[in-house]
C-alpha cells in the first residue's frame, strides 16, 4: 500500500480514470470492428464467427485488459488517512 | 399447481429474511452510534466480492433475465450483440468514480450520493431536484420489477398473479427495511449466485432438450428469416437493429450506466482500494456472463421452443417461463425459477434502500432541526425503517393492478436517471468549472428534452432518445457553467486538490 497525500491521491486517481477511458475505447473499437468486419456467413462450432469474436471475444478482452490495467496502473492507498503534503502549497 | 416447484423458492425467501434479521441484530451497536451510516451504506465495509456481486445483481433486472432473452429468441444473435455492450456496466463506474467518491465521501462524511452532490455544487435546489428524480423513477422501476417478477412467478408455478406478487413482495420489503444496506448487499450476492445457477440449469436443459448445438443451430437455420422471425444470423437482424440504435445502446446500457445512482451508491460503501480493484474484475466476469449468456440462451432456446410466436401467447416474455415450466423436472425448475426472481428481488432491494435514503437522509434529516442526541438515533432508526417499508409497499399496491401511466413512465425511468445524473456525477468529479447553474440547467433541460421527445415520438434518424437527452444535458451544462461563476475554493480544495 502506498502512502499518498490527499493531493497525490487525486493525481493518481486521475491517471487511473484515464487508463479506464483507454481500456473502454479499446473495447468499443474491438467490438465494432469484429461485429461488422467479419463476413456474416463464416461459422465456427456451428455459431457465426462474428458472434463469437465480437461478444465472447470482447468479454474476454475486457477481463484481460482490466486485469492488466489494474496490475500495472492502479495503486493501493488508504481511503481514510492522508500522508502530509510533501511540498509547500505553491500558489 | 405443483407444490414441489415452490419449495426451493420458499427456502430461499426464508434464508433472505433470516439474513435481514440476523444482520440487524449484529449491527445493533453500530446502529446506536451512527444509524444512517450503518443502515444506508452498511458502515463502508463491503469487500470486493460482495461489492461486485451486489453491483451486478442490482443492475441486472427482470428484463435481463426474462424480457431480453425472449426478444433474443425472436430476433436472433443480433440481440446478443445488442446486449453485450453491457460488459462495461460493472467496471466503468467503479473505475471512473469509485475511488474519488470513496475518498471524498470519507472526507466530508457523505452517506448518500445526494450528500456528495449537495456539497460539490453547494445547492439545495439541485439536491432536492435529484431526490425528486430518484423518487419518481425508482418507484416506477420498482413497480415494473414487481409486475415482471409476479408474472413469471405466476407463469411457472400456476399461482394467481396477486398471490404470487404478495408472496415475494412481502419478503423483499421486510428484509430490506429491517436489514438495511448490508442486508441488501449480502442478499444481492446470494441473488447473483442463484442467477448464475439458474443460467447453468437453463443451459443444460436447452442443450439436452435441443439435442446438442448442431441440432439447435440447424433448427435456427430453418426458421431464420421466415415469417415472425428476423434474419437470426445477421449482426443487425437484417436491419431490424440499425447501426444508430446500436450506437445509442452503447450510451443507454454501456457508458451511460455511470449515471445510475443505485450503482453509484456502492462507490461510497466499500472498504478499501483492494476491494474496488477486485470488484472491477469480478464484476466484469459476472456481468459479462449474465448479459451475454442470457440472450445467447434465449436464441438457442429456439432449438427447444419451435412453435411460432402466435401459438405461445404472442409475447416473447413467455419464452423463459415456458422453458422452466415445460421442459424441466419440478425440482430443477424450482431452483431455476429463483434466478429470475432473484434478478427482480436484488434490483428492488437496491432501488428501495437508495430511494429511502433520499427521503430520510436528503430530505427529512436535512430539514429536521435536532440531529445529534442519542435519543434521535433511535428516532432516525424508527423513521428510516418506516419510510423504507412504506416506500416498498406503495409499488406493491400499485403493481396489483398497474395504472397505464406507471407502465408508461417506466419507459423513461432508465434513460431518465442516466440523463439526470450522468453529467452531474462525471463533471462533478472531473471538471472543476462545473457549477450548480450548469448542473440544474443540465438536469432540467436534459430530462425535459429526453421525456418530451420520447413522449411525442420525435426521433433523430433511428437513434434512441437517450442521445438527445444526454446531448442536451451536455450542452446546457457546459454553457451554464462557463457563463456563471466557478465553484468556491472550499469546494475545489476538496474535489480538485491537484489544482493547488
The residues pairing with A83 across neighbouring beta strands, listed in sequence order, are A5
CB atoms inside a 10 Å sphere around CB B420: 27
Those residues whose C-beta lies under 8 Å from the C-beta of residue B85, and which sit 6 or more positions away, are: A31, B246, B249, B250, B253, B254
Q: Which residues of A touch B281 (CB under 8 A)?
A: 63, 66-67, 70
Q: Give chain B's domain count.
A: 1
Q: Decide if A13 and B92 are in contact by the 8 Å CB cutoff.
A: no
Confidence of residue B473 (pLDDT cuts 50, 70, 90): very high
Is there a domain that residue B268 lies in? Answer: yes
DSSP string for residues in B107-148: HHT--SHHHHHHHHHT-HHHHHHHHHHHHHHHHHHHHHHHHH
Among A47, A56, A73, A77, the residue to mutate for chain B (most B Cβ within 10 A)? A47
Domain range spanning residue B113?
6-402
The domain that holds B370 is classified in CATH as 1.20.1730.10
Cell of B115: 450528500
Query: Quick one: CA torsion of A22, A27, A29, A32, rounded to 10 degrees?
Result: -160
Q: Decide if A20 and B91 are in contact by the 8 Å CB cutoff.
A: yes
Among B78, B258, B270, B273, the residue to mutate for chain A (most A Cβ within 10 A)? B273
Q: Are A12 and A4 in contact (CB under 8 A)?
A: yes
pLDDT tens-place string over residues B192-207: 999 999 999 999 999 8
Helix B161-209 vs helix B273-300: angle between axes, to the nearest 10 degrees? Answer: 80
State whether residue B66 sits within 8 Å of chain A by CB: no
pLDDT tens-place string over residues A35-76: 888 877 787 888 888 889 999 999 999 999 999 999 999 999
What is the chain A residue with the closest CA to B102?
A: A79
pLDDT at position B1, please? 54
Q: Are B436 and B272 in contact (CB under 8 A)?
A: no
Among A5, A7, A17, A60, the residue to mutate for chain B (most B Cβ within 10 A)? A17
Q: Decide if B217 and A47 are in contact by the 8 Å CB cutoff.
A: yes
The residues pairing with A5 across neighbouring beta strands, listed in sequence order, are A83
Cell of B447: 430530462
- Say whether B485 sits in a helix, a strand or coil: coil
The C-alpha atoms of residue B486 and residue B437 are separated, in whole angstroms, by 10
Q: Decide if A67 and B81 are in contact by the 8 Å CB cutoff.
A: no
Confidence of residue B303 (pLDDT cuts 50, 70, 90): confident
pLDDT tens-place string over residues B409-457: 777 888 899 999 999 999 999 999 999 999 999 999 999 999 888 888 8
CB atoms inside a 10 Å sphere around CB B49: 16
| Predicted confidence (pLDDT) at residue B294 exceeds the cutoff of 60 | yes
**How confident is the prediction for chain B on average, in pLDDT?**
88
CB pairs under 8 A between A and B: 114
C-alpha distances in angstroms, B268 versus B110, B238, B262?
8, 44, 11
Global pTM? Answer: 0.89
pLDDT tens-place string over residues B88-127: 999 999 999 999 999 999 999 899 999 999 999 999 999 9
Q: Decide if B85 and A67 are in contact by the 8 Å CB cutoff.
A: no
Q: Decide if B103 and A66 are in contact by the 8 Å CB cutoff.
A: no
Q: Which of A41, A50, A66 sits opposite B284 (nearest CB)?
A: A66
pLDDT tens-place string over residues B48-98: 999 999 999 888 888 888 888 988 888 888 899 999 999 999 999 999 999
Confidence of residue A90 (pLDDT cuts 50, 70, 90): very low
Q: Which of B44-58, B209-223, B301-315, B364-378 has the lowest mean pLDDT?
A: B364-378
- Write phi, then psi, for B270 (nearest 5 degrees): -95, 170
Which ipTM value was assigned to this complex? 0.91
Cell of B219: 433448427
Amino acid at each position: 500500500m502506498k502512502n499518498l497525500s490527499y493531493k497525490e491521491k487525486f493525481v493518481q486517481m486521475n491517471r487511473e480514470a484515464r487508463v479506464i477511458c483507454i481500456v473502454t475505447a479499446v473495447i468499443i473499437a474491438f467490438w465494432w470492428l469484429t461485429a461488422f468486419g467479419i463476413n456474416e456467413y463464416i461459422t465456427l462450432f456451428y455459431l457465426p464467427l462474428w458472434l463469437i469474436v465480437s461478444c465472447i471475444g470482447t468479454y474476454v478482452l475486457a477481463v484481460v485488459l482490466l486485469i492488466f490495467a489494474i496490475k500495472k496502473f492502479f495503486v493501493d492507498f488508504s481511503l481514510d488517512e492522508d500522508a502530509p503534503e510533501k511540498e509547500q502549497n505553491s500558489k | 399447481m405443483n407444490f414441489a416447484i415452490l419449495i426451493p423458492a420458499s427456502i430461499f425467501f426464508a434464508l433472505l429474511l433470516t439474513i435481514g434479521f440476523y444482520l440487524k441484530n449484529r449491527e445493533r451497536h453500530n446502529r446506536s452510534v451512527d444509524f444512517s451510516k450503518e443502515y444506508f451504506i452498511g458502515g463502508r465495509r463491503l469487500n470486493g466480492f460482495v461489492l461486485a456481486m451486489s453491483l451486478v445483481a442490482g443492475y441486472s433486472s427482470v428484463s435481463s433475465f426474462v424480457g431480453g432473452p425472449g426478444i433474443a429468441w425472436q430476433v436472433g444473435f443480433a440481440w446478443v450483440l445488442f446486449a453485450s455492450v453491457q460488459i462495461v456496466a460493472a467496471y466503468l463506474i467503479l473505475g471512473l468514480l469509485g475511488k474519488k467518491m470513496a475518498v471524498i465521501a470519507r472526507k466530508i462524511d457523505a452517506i448518500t450520493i445526494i450528500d456528495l452532490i449537495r456539497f460539490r455544487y453547494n445547492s439545495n435546489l439541485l439536491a432536492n431536484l435529484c431526490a425528486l428524480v430518484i423518487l419518481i423513477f425508482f418507484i416506477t422501476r420498482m413497480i415494473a420489477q414487481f409486475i415482471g417478477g409476479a408474472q413469471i412467478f405466476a407463469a411457472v408455478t400456476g399461482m394467481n398473479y396477486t398471490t404470487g406478487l404478495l408472496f415475494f413482495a412481502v419478503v423483499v420489503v421486510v428484509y430490506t427495511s429491517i436489514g438495511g444496506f448490508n442486508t441488501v448487499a449480502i442478499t444481492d450476492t446470494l441473488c447473483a449466485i442463484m442467477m448464475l445457477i439458474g443460467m447453468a440449469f437453463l443451459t443444460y436443459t436447452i442443450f439436452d432438450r435441443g439435442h446438442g448445438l448442431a441440432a439447435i443451430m440447424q433448427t435456427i437455420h430453418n426458421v431464420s428469416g421466415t415469417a415472425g422471425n428476423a434474419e437470426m444470423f445477421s449482426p443487425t437482424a437484417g436491419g431490424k437493429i440499425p447501426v444508430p440504435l446500436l450506437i445509442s445502446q452503447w450510451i443507454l446500457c454501456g457508458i451511460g450506466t455511470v449515471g445510475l445512482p443505485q450503482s453509484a451508491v456502492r462507490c461510497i460503501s466499500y472498504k478499501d482500494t483492494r476491494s474496488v480493484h477486485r470488484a472491477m474484475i469480478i464484476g466484469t466476469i459476472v456481468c459479462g456472463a449474465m448479459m451475454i449468456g442470457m440472450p445467447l440462451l434465449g436464441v438457442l432456446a429456439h432449438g427447444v421452443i419451435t412453435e411460432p410466436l402466435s401459438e405461445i401467447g404472442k409475447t416473447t416474455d413467455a419464452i423463459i417461463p415456458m422453458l422452466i415450466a415445460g421442459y424441466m423436472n419440478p425440482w430443477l425448475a424450482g431452483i431455476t425459477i429463483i434466478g429470475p426472481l432473484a434478478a427482480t428481488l436484488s434490483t428492488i432491494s437496491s432501488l428501495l434502500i437508495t430511494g429511502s435514503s433520499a427521503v430520510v437522509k436528503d430530505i427529512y434529516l436535512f430539514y429536521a432541526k435536532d440531529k445529534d442526541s442519542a435519543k434521535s438515533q433511535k428516532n432516525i432508526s424508527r423513521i428510516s425503517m418506516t419510510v423504507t417499508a412504506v416506500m416498498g409497499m406503495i409499488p406493491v399496491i400499485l403493481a396489483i393492478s398497474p395504472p397505464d401511466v406507471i407502465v408508461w413512465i417506466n419507459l423513461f425511468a432508465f434513460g431518465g436517471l442516466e440523463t439526470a445524473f450522468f453529467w452531474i456525477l462525471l463533471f462533478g468529479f472531473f471538471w472543476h468549472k462545473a457549477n450548480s447553474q450548469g448542473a440544474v440547467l443540465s438536469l432540467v433541460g436534459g430530462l425535459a428534452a429526453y421525456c418530451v421527445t420520447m413522449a411525442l415520438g420525435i426521433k433523430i434518424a433511428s437513434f434512441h432518445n437517450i442521445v438527445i437527452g444526454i446531448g442536451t444535458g451536455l450542452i446546457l451544462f457546459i454553457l451554464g457553467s462557463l457563463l456563471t461563476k466557478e465553484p468556491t475554493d472550499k469546494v475545489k480544495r476538496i474535489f480538485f486538490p491537484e489544482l493547488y
